[in-house]
């Protein structure tokens, strides 16, 4: 990074790069993600959702910062902990809740659930239930863009756990060899289920994996939306310019357990509370207020507005029709005209 | 002389490998979205010289040599198929697909269903398969039943040059992932192949020889062994009906059941391991239908032995059904009748 000082040097990157409207929307999305996850958790507790879920509370800056400058034509592949990615890429929370509730009105008509939400119309190629499953798919999407002469970039979200899958290494290598427009975004939340990166990973920083493939790798504070956005924008610009892939590591933390079965036996309460003190949402809100982008009244509006949006989404979802059981095997194959 | 003689065009013969190449040539030439991917399919021409010189005609951007990364390569093909390309992915040996099962089974096969029908995966994968080359246990398997067990995939086993060209072109026109198993012993087999574009239907068996005494349902190379057996049987006064199954999934129930209703006797011949294989499905299909009432004798399954494919040539031959096995099976069934 440049050490040159300029007039804007003490203004966070996101704030000096984006319009006030865009920044306020980014904050709104962070609120929406947080409240979506809380709403999902509550719905689960109330027995409205069957199956498990993987919540990303605490990681909102990573999702929103990564998607901040993307267009709908840009693609993402997501992970089992993907609700934040969906919302950051523009998904409708009502259709997401409907999917959670297994409704025909959900993104996947109730066939996918929490781990398979996708929204191809917004470039979201889908979450994935297989750790590392989305990595080569993202490279394939980037191959399509290059071969078909499109300028879209693919963002490949994956977790620290996936960095030890063969799919990660094969994918990064191929993208590097073929100089494909893909950005590998590792959300390092410190644990693959219960196993810490210290116990699973041979490098200190997952960004160091980039060296093995001769691509740029950078590690940033994943709870700082500006730091995330700056790293991603650089990587996306490089990808769009045909210079190939990059690896960005967003160091963050999930406040909740891995899934609903997690008893948190592998980390301390102190560690969790330390990270909760580094909440990315009030941090960004305070920055926006400090730089005159946002007023306290607007913040209150965002807070109340996202509460309302989530409540309405849950109502929409609950009232939706269940899938027709006679349609059980629909969409296994594409129905073609006889 | 004023006579006009209609001269029938001489039957054009191609080898099975040439027929595949011609299909890929037609596809590459007519659709810019088609790309070939695989290991050593470029200047090397493919391990079995199936892609041959196509790289010289279409270039390295469309005939893409992948690193030796079966999982990643298969996943790139899945991602590319999701986003606008139509990849034809060659596994160097079908055995190596074991490295890529995650992407084939968990991603390619399921993504359309998981996402509620909002996407499709127009992907063709080619698998050089089968024994008889002295390549032993990790280069000789017949794994079509593994993939035939997965809803979302279509699984083909063309047995002739004409069919392999037509079925590959049908697979490319199909919006869903299609897996084509090509027996390596067939690559050099010559046969009539129509010129230009045509498709051979997926899911439709072919009656290769009509007969009234016993039905032999065979797949891939076994079709030719069954036809040879049928010639010998005819000399004994036993008229065998030989059905080339052509598609393992979806299986052509009508053609098989109609034949069994006619002959009352059934032999299933396939190279994959006998237990839990293609023959079990054919047999169950008959047992669960009214055709069962027409059976005059128990069904016989001739499948691969319950062991890996061995190296020693005599052991290798003993590990899969041979012509005399088919002969003996058909004779034993017909015994009561002749």
What distance separates the 2 farthest-apart alpha carbons in chain A? 67
**Residue B125 at interface with chain A, using a CB cutoff of 8 Å:** no
Q: Reply yes or no on whether the pLDDT at B5 is more than 70.
A: no
Residue range A19-90+121-306, CATH number = 3.40.50.970
pLDDT at position A179 is: 98
Q: Residue with structure tokens 């050593």?
A: B40
* Residue B218 to chain A, least CA–CA distance (Å): 26
The mean-pLDDT minimum among A103-117, A118-132, A221-235, B1-15 falls in B1-15
Rounded mean pLDDT, A248-267: 92
Contacts of B115 in chain A (CB under 8 A): 107-108, 111-112, 116, 118, 120, 126
Query: Over chain A, what is the mean pLDDT?
Result: 95
Domain parsing of chain A, residue ranges: 19-90+121-306
Q: Do A174 and B114 touch (CB under 8 A)?
A: no
pLDDT at position A7 is: 59
Q: Reply yes or no on whether the pLDDT at A284 is more than 60.
A: yes
CA distances (Å), origin B223, targets A59, A204, A254, B129, B322: 58, 58, 58, 15, 11
Contacts of A110 in chain B (CB under 8 A): 116
Instruction: Show the DSSP H helices in chain B as ranges.
Output: 16-30, 54-58, 70-82, 101, 111-114, 144-148, 161-173, 221-235, 253-263, 278-287, 313-318, 323-334
ipTM of the prediction: 0.94
What percentage of chain B exceeds 90 in pLDDT? 95
Q: Do A118 and B103 touch (CB under 8 A)?
A: no
The mean-pLDDT minimum among A13-17, A224-228, B9-13, B50-54 falls in B9-13
Contacts of B152 in chain A (CB under 8 A): 332-333
pLDDT at position A261 is: 84
Rounded mean pLDDT, B54-64: 98
* Residue B64 to chain A, least CA–CA distance (Å): 10
**Residue B59 at interface with chain A, using a CB cutoff of 8 Å:** no
Tokens of A136: 């080569």
If pLDDT is split at 50, 70 and 90, which confidence band does B41 have? very high
Taking the C-alpha atoms of residue A28 and residue A301, their distance in angstroms, rounded to an integer, is 10
Q: Which residues pair with A77 in a beta bridge?
A: A156
Tokens of B76: 């790139």
Which residue in A290, A236, A235 sits closest to A23, CA to CA?
A290
Total beta-carbon pairs less than 8 A apart between chain A and chain B:
153
Q: Reply yes or no on whether the pLDDT at A5 is more than 50.
A: no
Q: Reply yes or no on whether the pLDDT at A186 is more than 80.
A: yes
What percentage of chain A exceeds 90 in pLDDT? 91
Angle between helices A280-290 and A225-240 (to 10 degrees): 90
* Residue B130 to chain A, least CA–CA distance (Å): 27
Rounded mean pLDDT, A172-178: 98
- List, by residue number, the catalytic residues of B: 70, 139
pLDDT at position A6 is: 53
Q: Do A333 and B112 touch (CB under 8 A)?
A: yes
Which domains are present in chain B? 13-192 (3.40.50.970), 206-334 (3.40.50.920)
Mutate to test the interface with B, among A100, A112, A133, A136 (most CBs of B within 10 A): A136
Nearest to A108 among B62, B116, B154 (CB): B116
Rounded mean pLDDT, B149-167: 98
Contacts of B87 in chain A (CB under 8 A): 140
Q: Do B82 and A141 touch (CB under 8 A)?
A: yes
Nearest to A108 among B75, B81, B115 (CB): B115
Q: Residue with structure tokens 């695989």?
A: B38
If pLDDT is split at 50, 70 and 90, which confidence band does B8 have? low
**Residue B234 at interface with chain A, using a CB cutoff of 8 Å:** no
Rounded mean pLDDT, B92-101: 98
The H or E element spanning position B130 is none
Residue B150 — φ and ψ, nearest 5°?
Answer: -110, 110
Q: Do B35 and A147 touch (CB under 8 A)?
A: yes
For A92-150, what is each residue's pLDDT tens digit? Answer: 999 999 999 999 999 999 999 999 999 999 999 999 999 999 999 999 999 999 999 99
For B253-311, what is each residue's pLDDT tens digit? Answer: 999 999 999 999 999 999 999 999 999 999 999 999 999 999 999 999 999 999 999 99
Q: Do B72 and A331 touch (CB under 8 A)?
A: no
Please identify among residues 158-177 of chain B the ones whose CB lies closer than 8 Å to any CB of chain A.
174-176
Q: Do A332 and B151 touch (CB under 8 A)?
A: yes
Mutate to test the interface with B, among A147, A157, A162 (most CBs of B within 10 A): A147
pLDDT at position B285 is: 98
pLDDT at position A308 is: 98
Q: Are B116 and B90 in contact (CB under 8 A)?
A: no
**Residue B68 at interface with chain A, using a CB cutoff of 8 Å:** no
If pLDDT is split at 50, 70 and 90, which confidence band does B11 have? confident
**Residue B79 at interface with chain A, using a CB cutoff of 8 Å:** yes
CA distances (Å), origin A68, targets A23, A223, B34: 9, 14, 33
Q: Reply yes or no on whether the pLDDT at A3 is more than 90.
A: no
Mutate to test the interface with B, among A82, A143, A165 (most CBs of B within 10 A): A143
Q: Do B102 and A133 touch (CB under 8 A)?
A: yes
Instruction: Show the DSSP H helices in chain A as ranges.
Output: 13-17, 20-45, 60-67, 83-88, 93-100, 134-147, 166-177, 197-200, 225-240, 269-276, 280-290, 296-319
Nearest to A144 among B83, B102, B176 (CB): B83
Contacts of B116 in chain A (CB under 8 A): 106-112, 331
Q: What radius of gyration do chain A's Cα atoms show?
A: 20
Neighbours of A204 (CB within 10 A): 10
Strands A217-221 and A246-251: what pairing? parallel
Residue of B nearest to A335 (CA): B175
CA distances (Å), origin A126, targets A100, A153, B123, B125: 15, 15, 18, 22
For A286-310, what is each residue's pLDDT tens digit? Answer: 999 999 999 999 999 999 999 999 9
pLDDT at position A1 is: 44
Residue of B nearest to A128 (CA): B107
Q: Reply yes or no on whether the pLDDT at A228 is more than 60.
A: yes
Q: Do A140 and B33 touch (CB under 8 A)?
A: no
Which is higher by pLDDT, A273 or A2? Answer: A273
pLDDT at position B254 is: 98
Residue B32 — φ and ψ, nearest 5°?
Answer: -65, -15
Length of chain A: 338
Beta strands in B167-312, from DSSP E residues, in sequence order: 178-183, 190-192, 206-209, 214-218, 240-244, 247-249, 266-273, 300-304
* Residue A323 to chain B, least CA–CA distance (Å): 11
Please identify among residues 126-155 of chain B the ones whose CB lies closer than 8 Å to any CB of chain A.
151-152, 154
């Amino acid at each position: 990074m440049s050490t040159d000082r300029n007039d804007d040097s003490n203004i966070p990157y996101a704030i000096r790069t984006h319009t006030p409207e865009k920044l306020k929307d980014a904050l709104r999305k962070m609120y929406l993600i947080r409240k979506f996850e809380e709403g999902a958790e509550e719905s689960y507790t109330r027995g409205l959702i069957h199956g498990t879920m993987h919540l990303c509370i605490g990681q909102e800056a990573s999702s929103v910062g990564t998607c901040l400058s993307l267009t709908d034509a840009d693609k993402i592949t997501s992970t089992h902990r993907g609700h934040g990615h969906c919302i950051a890429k523009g998904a409708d929370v009502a259709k997401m809740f409907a999917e959670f509730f297994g409704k025909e009105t959900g993104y996947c008509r109730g066939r996918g659930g929490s781990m398979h939400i996708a929204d191809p119309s917004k470039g979201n190629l889908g979450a994935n239930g297989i750790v590392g499953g989305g990595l080569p798919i993202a490279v394939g999407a980037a191959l399509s863009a290059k071969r078909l002469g499109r300028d879209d970039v693919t963002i490949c979200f994956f977790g620290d756990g996936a960095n030890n899958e063969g799919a990660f290494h094969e994918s990064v290598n191929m993208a590097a060899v073929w100089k494909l427009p893909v950005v590998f975004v590792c959300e390092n939340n410190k644990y693959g289920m219960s196993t810490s990166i210290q116990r699973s990973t041979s490098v200190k920083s997952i960004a160091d994996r980039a060296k093995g493939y001769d691509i740029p790798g950078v590690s940033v504070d994943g709870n700082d939306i500006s730091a995330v956005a700056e790293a991603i924008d650089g990587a996306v610009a490089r990808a769009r310019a045909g210079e190939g892939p990059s690896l960005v590591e967003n160091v963050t933390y999930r406040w909740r357990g891995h899934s609903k079965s997690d008893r948190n036996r592998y980390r301390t309460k102190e560690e969790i509370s330390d990270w909760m003190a580094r909440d990315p949402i009030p941090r960004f809100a305070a920055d926006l207020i400090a730089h005159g982008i946002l007023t306290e009244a607007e913040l209150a509006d965002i807070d109340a507005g996202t509460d309302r949006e989530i409540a309405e989404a849950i109502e929409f979802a609950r009232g939706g029709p269940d899938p027709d059981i006679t349609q059980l095997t629909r969409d296994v194959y594409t129905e073609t005209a006889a | 002389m004023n006579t006009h003689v209609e001269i029938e065009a001489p039957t054009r013969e191609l080898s099975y490998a040439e027929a595949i190449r011609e299909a890929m040539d037609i596809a590459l030439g007519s659709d810019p979205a088609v790309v070939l991917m695989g290991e050593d399919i470029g200047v090397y021409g493919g391990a079995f010289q199936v892609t041959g010189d196509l790289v010289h005609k279409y270039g390295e951007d469309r005939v893409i040599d992948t690193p030796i990364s079966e999982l990643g390569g298969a996943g790139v093909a899945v991602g590319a198929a999701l986003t606008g390309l139509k990849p034809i992915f060659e596994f160097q040996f079908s055995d190596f697909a074991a490295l890529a099962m995650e992407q084939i089974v968990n991603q390619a096969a399921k993504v359309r269903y998981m996402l509620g029908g909002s996407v499709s995966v127009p992907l063709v994968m080619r698998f050089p398969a089968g024994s008889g080359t002295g390549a032993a246990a990790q280069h000789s398997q017949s794994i079509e039943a593994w993939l035939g067990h997965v809803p979302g995939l279509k699984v083909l086993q063309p047995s002739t040059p004409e069919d392999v060209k037509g079925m590959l072109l049908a697979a490319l026109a199909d919006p869903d992932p299609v897996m084509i198993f090509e027996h390596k012993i067939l690559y050099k087999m010559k046969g009539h192949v129509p010129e230009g574009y045509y498709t051979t239907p997926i899911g439709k068996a072919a009656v290769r020889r009509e007969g009234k005494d016993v039905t032999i349902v065979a797949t891939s190379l076994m079709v030719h062994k069954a036809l040879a057996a049928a010639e010998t049987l005819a000399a004994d006064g036993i008229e065998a009906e030989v059905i080339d199954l052509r598609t393992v999934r979806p299986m052509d129930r009508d053609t098989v059941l109609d034949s069994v209703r006619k002959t009352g006797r059934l032999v299933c011949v396939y190279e994959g391991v006998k237990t839990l294989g293609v023959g079990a499905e054919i047999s169950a299909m008959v047992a669960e239908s009214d055709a069962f009432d027409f059976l005059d004798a128990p069904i016989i399954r001739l499948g691969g032995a319950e062991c890996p494919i061995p190296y020693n040539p005599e052991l290798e031959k003993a590990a899969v059904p041979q012509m005399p096995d088919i002969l003996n099976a058909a004779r034993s069934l017909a015994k009561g009748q002749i």
